[in-house]
Amino acid sequence: MKPFDDGCAANDEFQSVLGGSYRGELVKDLLRQRVRMPDPVSDELARPELAGRIIDAMAPGKVLFLESPPGFGKSHSLSSALHQSDGLADRVRWLTLTGQENDAGRLLALLEIALKPASAARIQGQQNASSYSDALSMVLSGAGAAKEDESRILVIDNVGMVAHPASIALLQQLVLETPSNLSLVLLSRKPLPFETHSLELAGRFRRLGPEDLELSRAETFEFFSDSLAERKITTITAEHLYALTEGWITPLGLYERELREMSDARLPIQDSASVERFLRDALLIPLTPGQQRSLRIMAELDVVSDELFLALADSACDHAFRPSAAAESGIPLRAIPGRGRWYRFNPMVHEWLQTPAMDGMEERAVRASRWFSHRGRFTEALRYALIGGAHDEAVRIASEASEALLIGQDTASLLSLRQSMPSELFEQSSRLKIVYGWVHAIGGQFAQARGLIDELEKTSDGMNQGRIDALRAFILRGEGAVPEALVAAQKALDSKDLSGQGRLVTELVRSSALCAQGNFSEAREANRNAMRIARETNDGGSEALAVYAHARIELGKGALKHAEQLLRTGLDMAMNGAARVARVGEVRLQLHLVMVLWHQGREAEADRLLVTCLRHAEQTRDLGLLLAMALRVLICRTHGRIDEAFIWIGRAERTMQAWRVDVSAYVPVLEALKGSIWLASGQFEAASQALERLGPWRSANCVPDMFPMMPGLLDCLQARLELARDDEVCAAATLQSIRDKHQEMVPFGLELHARLLESVISWRQKGPAAGQKDLIAAIGLAAKEHYISPFFELQRELQPMVEKVWPQLPSTPFVAEIGRHYGIYAEAADVATLAEPISEREQGVLELIAKGLSNQDIADKLHISLHTVKTHARRINAKLEVKSRTQAIVRARELGLL
């Protein structure tokens, strides 16, 4: 074997132009030019959280793997993090691979250059190594013998270019034998071609994927801040860009550059020239014609699996290029959590690949419809029957599967079918009328649903009466008529012709109505009945909805942690079930999980999930979209983004009108949101007018299904307005009426609002001591579940009192979070007693230590290594001058750090 480090290396095609060299040799000075770090990008978006995660993962002796499709900023994010960290950039050797490194000798020469310090002497016997593996072992041994202060970071970019087994073996050896003073970072569009689970179990391997590299919604808005300020785009456009790209940074960057340069009207992002070039160059050009056709057939489906793709692929496709293989090759296909090998495209790529439509698309849609129908997945079967123009097939599916479609149907597809269905066919089928009664009711079109019921009762001669009563109960519950809904639901359950799924839906209606009355014990019993029916019918989707109903009961009781656990369980059921629950049911689960996260102040998590909820609710024409938009308004108002909040209110109003939703279903909600914003902004007259417009609706005492606390919150709004006018007597009477209206127990969130407002009244009428006592009691009640949203909602009323009694409030993380939101911090003199202040990262670790988490739990929660947590803990103890975790917690509370 030719020595690899004698100044030459094998297999370079350019040596013939070099004086004194001959074919088959390579001058190493040329290869040294390959080992260089990218220069930092000017005007980059600062991403300190991502940079922190990257730096924390680059511990000596460990491996960091950055994997994502092209355009997610792997190299840029790493380079930026290294340049931002003092001293790290000088220790980095950056090697970008090409296809030439499939020659193992060339790759070995590059690794030897990158790993061996320039001043290092040649290791004795290295040039006589009998194999590439032995030679690399000698190089690694020499690198490992370096002094601790000579530790290095080796970055190997574009690892996916290496496909030859000999070169792959060298990379695997490098990963397995990484010296203790070397941090190894690998970047690739594809998964590594060798196993790493043993290293992960040993804590030596960390992967960051596209979900870590993509921009968050807040970062996307910051990225387009200049364009927003110059009114080149609106906040709605920025929201759409984030939902469409899911934070894919390169298309967003290209589009932002076009916005700066263009003078005429802007194009949609998927139609802009630079983004189209990027998608073509990154996704299509590397593929063969057969692979390109396979990819475009996959894009004709919302979600796709290998089995479904093979059922649709034709002879022109590359049958080996299945969705799983495409995802592993770097195509932005993302596995759907909990659904095995099912995948979905990035929304922008999904839309781009479908333009223009390929020949035979309708025929493939019909085949997909039959594929889903054969497996009992009627919502998807119906959707693709409509896309394929097979209306007779669609009508057959809707008629035969009407019972299955009662729960969470794809409302948008069914409404599309109705528009093209012959009227005489619809008139002849009572089962179709029942199906569409449910469709209209789910979409908030209660008047249309009631019209279908009236027609059925005139012509059915008592047939389907149980189904009609079940639908009537659902409509009444949606309209907020709780007592009437309970009567209709009981009548439906007494009927002998009601199916199992009909009984399940009716029990869920009873559970919701009883929960709205505060009768949580009977609501739970109805929920248990629904769960039993779902298990008897072996329907995973129905069981998930029963879990959702249970979560809503716990949410009403204020048990946020239990509610979150139940909602996540329901989502797992929805995704793991053989017959996946329809999208409407899944969206409702997600929406209420967002609500739980918002109540607990976990807005970053809520924000990301809410984007998905908005998109899915719009696709399915689900009235849950109104709740999603209302949550977005509340988040905007909490952060003082009043203009953006009103934009969302306007968008919600336009959408509800376009969907022909009954006015009674959305106007009260939007008027209540307006009143709340005006009150928080000090516009008392505007808030008063909003409450006056809500007068008829308040007097009817309607309790809408999606907003069960609405009547009580309107009473709280009235009390807040009376407090703003210094009328504490009327405010106290209004708050008392909240408890008088509930037959059983007041929902926890409503009770908390009332108690906080009562503490303000006590403060004003009875003095600081009484107000402080009531406030501390309310804080103690809320802290158990970290129910912090009422403190954000009532900041205007609570701020003066909280500022006054702040020193007397308990020193807990919950109170500290209230203080941060209110702009109240620990005394500067106390913090100044530290010789060296606690850093932001150390503060995060300290707060988790105070919660009783172990070092490993903290590492898992913050996504950092155990070694890093221990380092932070040692520094915290040193700065606080203590020797144990317990002493650190006590001392931190004394200083106001907790």
Give the DSSP letter string of 31-76: HHTTB-PPPPPTTPPP-HHHHHHHHHH--TT-EEEEE-STTS-HHH
- Span of 72-76, 244-248, 857-861 with lowest mean pLDDT: 857-861
Residue 853's contacts (CB-CB under 8 Å, 6 or more residues apart) are 861
- Span of 231-235, 261-265, 615-619, 792-796 with lowest mean pLDDT: 261-265
Give residue 12's pLDDT.
47
- 334 has pLDDT over 70: yes
Give residue 420's pLDDT.
65
- 19 has pLDDT over 80: no
Does residue 704 or residue 409 have the better pLDDT?
Answer: 704
If pLDDT is split at 50, 70 and 90, which confidence band does 129 have?
A: low
Give residue 711's pLDDT.
87
Query: Taking residues 81-85, what's their average pLDDT?
Result: 84
Closest CA relative to residue 760, chosen from 711, 724, 786: 724
Predicted TM-score (pTM) of the model is 0.72
Q: Which residue reads 């329901």 in tokens?
A: 570
Torsion of CA 78, 81, 87, 93, to 10 degrees: 10
Query: Taking residues 165-186, what's their average pLDDT?
Result: 92
If pLDDT is split at 50, 70 and 90, which confidence band does 251 have?
A: very high
If pLDDT is split at 50, 70 and 90, which confidence band does 11 have?
A: very low
Query: Taking residues 552-577, what's their average pLDDT?
Result: 85
- The tokens of 401 are what? 């599967």
Residue 646's contacts (CB-CB under 8 Å, 6 or more residues apart) are 674, 677
Does residue 679 or residue 885 have the better pLDDT?
Answer: 679
Rg of the chain on CA atoms, in Å: 31
Give residue 618's pLDDT.
83
Give residue 783's pLDDT.
92
Q: CB of 475 within 8 A of CB of 441? A: yes
Sign, CA dihedral 880-885-889-890, equals negative
- 109 has pLDDT over 80: yes
Give residue 830's pLDDT.
42
Beta strands across the sheet bearing 152-157: 92-96, 152-157, 182-188, 63-67, 205-208
Give residue 756's pLDDT.
95
If pLDDT is split at 50, 70 and 90, which confidence band does 67 have?
A: very high
Residue 501's contacts (CB-CB under 8 Å, 6 or more residues apart) are 403, 404, 406, 407, 533, 537, 539, 542
If pLDDT is split at 50, 70 and 90, which confidence band does 752 have?
A: very high
- The tokens of 762 are what? 């006590």
Question: Please, which residues bridge with residue 153 across strands?
Answer: 92, 183
Q: Which SS3 state, helix, strand or coil, does residue 96 take?
A: strand
Question: Please, which residues bridge with residue 154 across strands?
Answer: 93, 184
Q: Hey, what amino acid is at 379?
A: T
Q: CB of 126 within 8 A of CB of 5? A: yes
- Span of 146-150, 217-221, 316-320 with lowest mean pLDDT: 146-150
Q: What is the pLDDT of residues 460-493, one digit of tens each?
A: 666 778 888 999 999 999 888 899 999 999 999 9
Query: Taking residues 330-350, what's their average pLDDT?
Result: 86
- The tokens of 230 are what? 């110059």
Give residue 825's pLDDT.
64
Q: CB of 817 within 8 A of CB of 843? A: no
Query: Taking residues 543-555, what's their average pLDDT?
Result: 89
351-362 b/e with 16+ CB inside 10 Å = b?
ebbeeeeeeeee
- 235 has pLDDT over 60: yes
Give residue 502's pLDDT.
82
Give residue 718's pLDDT.
93
Q: Which SS3 state, helix, strand or coil, does residue 662 take?
A: coil
Give residue 655's pLDDT.
93
Q: What is the pLDDT of residues 773-804, one digit of tens each?
A: 999 999 999 999 999 999 999 999 999 999 88
Give residue 264's pLDDT.
64
Does residue 150 or residue 131 have the better pLDDT?
Answer: 131
Give residue 732's pLDDT.
92
What is the percentage of the chain residues whose pLDDT exceeds 70? 87
Cα-based angle 96, 100, 101 (whole degrees, multiple of 5)? 60
Q: Hey, what amino acid is at 121?
A: A
- 827 has pLDDT over 50: no
- Span of 47-56, 573-582, 726-735 with lowest mean pLDDT: 573-582
> Mean pLDDT for the chain?
84
If pLDDT is split at 50, 70 and 90, which confidence band does 538 have?
A: confident
Give residue 832's pLDDT.
42
Numbers of helices and strands, H then E, in the chain? 49, 8
- 187 has pLDDT over 90: yes
Sign, CA dihedral 553-559-561-562, equals negative
Query: Taking residues 884-891, what's their average pLDDT?
Result: 77
Instruction: Give dist(CA 418, CA 432) in Å, integer.
Output: 10
Instruction: Give dist(CA 652, CA 626) in Å, integer.
Output: 7
If pLDDT is split at 50, 70 and 90, which confidence band does 164 have?
A: very high
At 240, which helix (H) or strand (E)?
Answer: helix 235-245
410-449 b/e with 16+ CB inside 10 Å = b?
bbbbbbbbbeebeeeeeeebbebbbbbbbbbbbbbbbbbb
Give residue 608's pLDDT.
83
Give residue 810's pLDDT.
85
Q: CB of 625 within 8 A of CB of 614? A: yes
Instruction: Give dist(CA 765, CA 759) in Å, integer.
Output: 10
Closest CA relative to residue 499, chosen from 528, 462, 534, 531: 534
Residue 741's contacts (CB-CB under 8 Å, 6 or more residues apart) are 701, 711, 712
Give residue 144's pLDDT.
66
Q: CB of 28 within 8 A of CB of 156? A: no
Q: What is the pLDDT of residues 376-413, one digit of tens each?
A: 777 788 889 888 888 888 878 877 765 555 554 556 66
- 32 has pLDDT over 70: yes
Query: Taking residues 550-561, what's their average pLDDT?
Result: 92
If pLDDT is split at 50, 70 and 90, which confidence band does 682 have?
A: confident
Closest CA relative to residue 282, chosen from 381, 355, 349: 349
State how far the alpha carbon of 133 is from the alpha carbons of 108, 169, 182, 573, in Å: 9, 8, 18, 48
If pLDDT is split at 50, 70 and 90, which confidence band does 29 have?
A: low
- Span of 99-108, 122-131, 513-522 with lowest mean pLDDT: 122-131
Torsion of CA 460, 461, 462, 465, to 10 degrees: 10
- Span of 33-37, 672-676, 706-710 with lowest mean pLDDT: 33-37
Q: Which long-range contacts (CB under 8 A, 24 or more apart) does 116-123 make?
A: 116/142, 116/143, 117/146, 117/150, 120/146, 122/5
If pLDDT is split at 50, 70 and 90, which confidence band does 150 have?
A: low
Give residue 883's pLDDT.
75
Q: CB of 243 within 8 A of CB of 615? A: yes
If pLDDT is split at 50, 70 and 90, which confidence band does 119 have?
A: very low
Give residue 407's pLDDT.
54
Does residue 366 or residue 517 have the better pLDDT?
Answer: 366
246 φ/ψ angles, rounded to the nearest 5 degrees: 55, 40
What is the percentage of the chain residues whose pLDDT exceeds 90? 40
Q: What is the pLDDT of residues 601-654, one digit of tens each?
A: 988 888 888 988 888 888 778 888 999 999 999 998 888 889 889 999 999 999
Q: What is the pLDDT of residues 419-430, one digit of tens each?
A: 766 676 677 777
- 440 has pLDDT over 90: no
Give residue 596's pLDDT.
94
Give residue 405's pLDDT.
57
Q: CB of 673 within 8 A of CB of 633? A: yes
- Span of 219-233, 238-252, 271-285, 400-414 with lowest mean pLDDT: 400-414
